């Protein structure tokens, strides 16, 4: 895991030293173990390294005999199989997991990534062909951002690097802003910053003279509708896939651990890790100091004890929330107003004291059919079925001044595209989430919150082997008797029944409502006066929203207040360019 940046240069263009230095500074937190760069006619590539595999010879850029150079962010989990299989006989210069893609590119050109199993954003400069090739993994676990500039096509692991280097002017797209405020994430290739777009999950592009001349895309999910398979055969297949995926996701030359919640997904990863590891797994769990909060520590303790894991608990307090939120919002440059960023960031800070890699259960709900909204989407409208995310967070409370036209177009387009290939309603709902919610919220959260501390996050439930075993399962093996993730629960019941896999899903919530209600009197005037908030919500509406009834905020009111608070802090740093100073109140009070 690292950070990369660069520019596919236009003819005659060169990168000013100040731009190269600014890119390096902006990405330094992603790679504290060293830097490298490649400068040649037509291309500039940069990488800061978080050393995980091949600590001795894995520095980048990497080169191959044909003259191509590579920098990468991520891990290629099947690098051993590639060296022994399609690349057998190749003379490798390093033991790096990222060298095989370079040789595959030389053999196969722009379709080379079809052989890769991993999470990655890769940049290759093919000097002989005078082209730069950029690739991103099919699930979108690793990010890569693009911008057309006077120098050429610039790219970076974080949009903040492009902004801080002055390659793109700061600004705000109104439609994407409304997606963020209403959905908590943004959709599609375009980001919230005008002029910056995402390389899409699974996409590879070839750039010549600063222009995209060729595209190729690898799908994350298998084609086709539900398959015919019995429960026992499905369980056997799932067992093989889980052990295979977790095994390759553990490949590292540094210590690794697990983010363990009280839920099914991370417990399943833990059960597989238990079978694969001789030493106790080191597991990290976050909990909250608010009475009555949905605290997952008890369930995590039970699972950890069953697996014989070493268990570290991190208490996330109200004081942490107010103190660190400006810094946390700064880390989310491609914004997701997901309150789980708070415990994730704090958990990563603690885990980095002991490990450089953590596995997590992200993707389990999407892959196995866990969300309640999926069960609703399975039903036709006349039986109570509902369109996912039909109304926005602030819209439902009547808080908005106005909404940009077409703010739901991205979500509706993704849903229409997902309802193809003979998929069931459930599969279409899952595939819709895989397009935007997963890469632009959950995985963006994991990437930014962990890389803020130089910690690598791996997601074994988002893997081709798991997708092949799970996505095309019959609906009845995903949802049964109103319970989602049926097959994964059944597998866990056999391999770690202590985790109570058929207990009612609690859901992961952060007690932001209680924390905000406790300081609402001080927060309300600061939030109402913030120029970014005032542009979308009337000051009197903010004051009314932050007027707790009986000392508490309702569920929807709490989430709306959280969203506006996050947005105000995020906007100050990434749109207005103001460095965050102090805690929430000091930051919002600085004009």
SS (H, E, C) 81-138: HHHHCCCCCCCCCCCCCCHHHHHHHHHHHHHHHHHCCEEEEEEEEECCCCEEEEEECC
Dig out the tokens for 240 from the structure: 């093989």
Distances (CA, A) of 360 to 260, 263, 267, 347: 7, 11, 9, 12
Q: Give the E-state strand segments of 250-296 in sequence order.
A: 256-259, 282-288
What three-state secondary structure class fits 554?
Answer: coil
Task: Name the β-bridge partners of 39.
Answer: 44
- Using one digit for the tens of pLDDT, what is the confidence trace for 483-539? 999 999 999 999 999 999 998 766 668 999 999 999 999 999 999 999 999 999 999
| Residue 304 to residue 404: CA distance in whole angstroms | 47
What three-state secondary structure class fits 318?
Answer: helix
DSSP state of 396: G
What three-state secondary structure class fits 24?
Answer: helix
Is 80 exceeded by the pLDDT of residue 382? no
Query: Residue 384: which pLDDT band, with cuts at 50, 70 and 90?
Result: low
- Using one digit for the tens of pLDDT, what is the confidence trace for 209-244? 999 999 999 999 999 999 999 999 999 999 999 999
What three-state secondary structure class fits 494?
Answer: helix
Task: Name the β-bridge partners of 136.
Answer: 121
pTM: 0.97
Is 80 exceeded by the pLDDT of residue 383? no
Query: What's the pLDDT score for residue 581?
Result: 85
| Residue 267 to residue 584: CA distance in whole angstroms | 35
Q: CATH 3.40.50.300: does it fit domain 2-217? A: no
To 10 degrees, the CA torsion angle through 77, 79, 82, 87? 160
Judge contact between 517 and 553, C-beta under 8 A.
yes
> 392 or 181: which carries more pLDDT confidence?
181
Judge contact between 364 and 469, C-beta under 8 A.
no
Query: What's the pLDDT score for residue 296?
Result: 84
Which candidate, 482, 523, 472, 525, places its Cα nearest to that of 502? 482
| Residue 189 to residue 398: CA distance in whole angstroms | 29
- Residue 203 sits at the vertex; the CA angle it makes with 201 and 205, to the nearest 5 degrees, is 145
To 10 degrees, the CA torsion angle through 90, 96, 101, 107? -10
Distance of CA 525 to the CA centre of its chain: 33
Which candidate, 505, 502, 516, places its Cα nearest to that of 559? 516
- Using one digit for the tens of pLDDT, what is the confidence trace for 28-83? 999 999 999 999 999 999 999 999 999 999 999 999 998 999 999 999 999 999 99
Is 70 exceeded by the pLDDT of residue 585? yes
Which candidate, 559, 494, 42, places its Cα nearest to that of 306? 494
Query: What's the pLDDT score for residue 506?
Result: 62
CB atoms < 10 A from the CB of 416, how many?
11
From the list 2, 48, 98, 449, the catalytic residue is: 2
DSSP state of 463: S
CB atoms < 10 A from the CB of 375, how many?
18
Which residue has 């909990």 as its token pair?
Answer: 287
- Residue 424 sits at the vertex; the CA angle it makes with 419 and 425, to the nearest 5 degrees, is 70
| Residue 31 to residue 222: CA distance in whole angstroms | 34
* pLDDT average, residue stretch 19-24: 97
Dig out the tokens for 572 from the structure: 């100050």
Give the pairing of strands 282-288 and 256-259: parallel
Query: What's the pLDDT score for residue 1?
Result: 63
Is 80 exceeded by the pLDDT of residue 17? yes
Is 70 exceeded by the pLDDT of residue 310? yes
CB atoms < 10 A from the CB of 164, how many?
20
Which candidate, 219, 142, 174, places its Cα nearest to that of 409? 174
DSSP state of 233: H
- Provide CB contacts within 8 A for 114, sequence distance 6+: 108, 218
* pLDDT average, residue stretch 308-316: 97
Query: Residue 306: which pLDDT band, with cuts at 50, 70 and 90?
Result: very high
Mean pLDDT of the chain: 94
| Residue 545 to residue 554: CA distance in whole angstroms | 10
What three-state secondary structure class fits 152?
Answer: strand
Ramachandran assignment for 89, one of left (phi > 0), alpha (psi -120 to 50 degrees), beta (any other): left
Is 90 exceeded by the pLDDT of residue 112? yes
Active site residue 48: no
Helix %, strand %, coil % of the chain (to 5):
45, 15, 40
- Of 241-245, 248-252, 368-372, give the lowest mean pLDDT range: 368-372
Cis peptide bond upstream of 61, omega within 30: yes
Which candidate, 197, 189, 210, 196, places its Cα nearest to that of 168? 196
The domains of the chain are located at 2-217, 231-274+299-305+357-499, 512-589
């Amino acid at each position: 895991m690292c950070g990369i940046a660069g520019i596919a240069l236009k003819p005659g263009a060169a990168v000013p030293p100040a731009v190269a230095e600014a890119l390096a500074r902006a990405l330094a937190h992603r790679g504290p173990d060293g830097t490298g760069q490649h400068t040649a006619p037509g291309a500039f590539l940069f990488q800061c390294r978080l050393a995980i595999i091949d600590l001795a010879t894995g520095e980048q850029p990497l080169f191959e005999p044909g003259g191509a150079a590579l920098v990468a962010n991520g891990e290629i989990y099947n690098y051993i199989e590639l060296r022994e299989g399609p690349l057998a006989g190749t003379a490798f210069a390093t033991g790096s997991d990222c060298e095989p893609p370079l040789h595959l590119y030389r053999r196969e050109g722009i379709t080379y990534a079809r052989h890769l199993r991993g999470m990655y954003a890769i940049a290759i400069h093919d000097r002989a062909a005078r082209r730069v090739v950029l690739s991103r993994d099919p699930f979108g676990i690793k990010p890569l951002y693009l911008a057309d500039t006077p120098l050429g096509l610039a790219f970076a692991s974080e949009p903040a690097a492009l902004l801080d280097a002055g390659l793109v002017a700061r600004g705000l797209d109104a439609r994407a802003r409304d997606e963020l405020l209403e959905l908590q994430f943004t959709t599609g290739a375009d980001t919230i910053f005008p002029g910056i777009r995402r390389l899409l999950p699974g996409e590879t592009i070839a750039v010549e003279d600063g222009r995209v001349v060729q595209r190729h895309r690898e799908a994350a999910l298998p084609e086709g509708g539900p398959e015919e398979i019995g429960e026992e055969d499905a369980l056997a297949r799932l067992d093989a896939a889980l052990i295979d995926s977790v095994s390759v996701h553990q490949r590292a030359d540094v210590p690794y651990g697990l983010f363990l919640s009280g839920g099914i997904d991370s417990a399943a990863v833990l059960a597989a890790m238990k079978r694969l590891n001789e030493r106790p797994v080191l597991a990290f769990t976050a909990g909250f100091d608010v009475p009555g909060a949905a605290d997952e520590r008890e369930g995590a303790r039970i699972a950890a004890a069953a697996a014989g894991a070493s268990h570290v608990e991190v208490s996330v307090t109200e004081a942490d929330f107010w103190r660190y939120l400006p810094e946390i919002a700064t880390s989310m440059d491609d914004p997701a107003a997901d309150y789980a960023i708070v415990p994730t960031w704090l958990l990563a800070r603690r885990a980095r004291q002991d490990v450089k890699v953590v596995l997590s259960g992200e993707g389990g709900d999407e892959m196995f059919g866990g969300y309640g909204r999926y069960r609703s989407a399975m039903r036709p409208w006349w039986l109570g079925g509902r369109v996912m995310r039909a109304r926005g967070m602030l819209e439902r409370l009547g808080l908005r001044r106005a909404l940009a036209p077409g703010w739901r177009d991205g979500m509706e387009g993704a849903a229409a595209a997902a309802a193809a290939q003979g998929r069931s309603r459930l599969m279409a709902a899952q595939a819709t989430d895989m397009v935007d919610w997963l890469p632009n919220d959950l995985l963006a959260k994991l990437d930014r919150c962990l890389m803020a501390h130089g910690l690598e996050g791996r997601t074994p439930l988002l893997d081709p082997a798991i997708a092949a075993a799970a996505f095309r399962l019959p609906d009845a093996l995903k949802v049964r008797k109103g319970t989602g993730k049926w097959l994964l629960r059944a597998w866990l019941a056999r391999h770690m029944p202590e985790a109570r896999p058929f207990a009612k899903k609690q859901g992961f919530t952060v007690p932001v409502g209680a924390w905000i209600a406790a300081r609402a009197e001080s927060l309300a005037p600061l939030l109402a006066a913030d120029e970014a908030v005032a542009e979308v919500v009337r000051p009197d509406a903010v004051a009314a929203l932050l007027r707790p009834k009986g000392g508490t905020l309702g569920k929807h009111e709490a989430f709306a207040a959280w969203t506006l608070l996050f947005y105000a802090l995020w906007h100050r740093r990434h749109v207005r360019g103001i460095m965050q100073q102090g805690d929430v109140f000091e930051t919002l009070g600085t004009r």
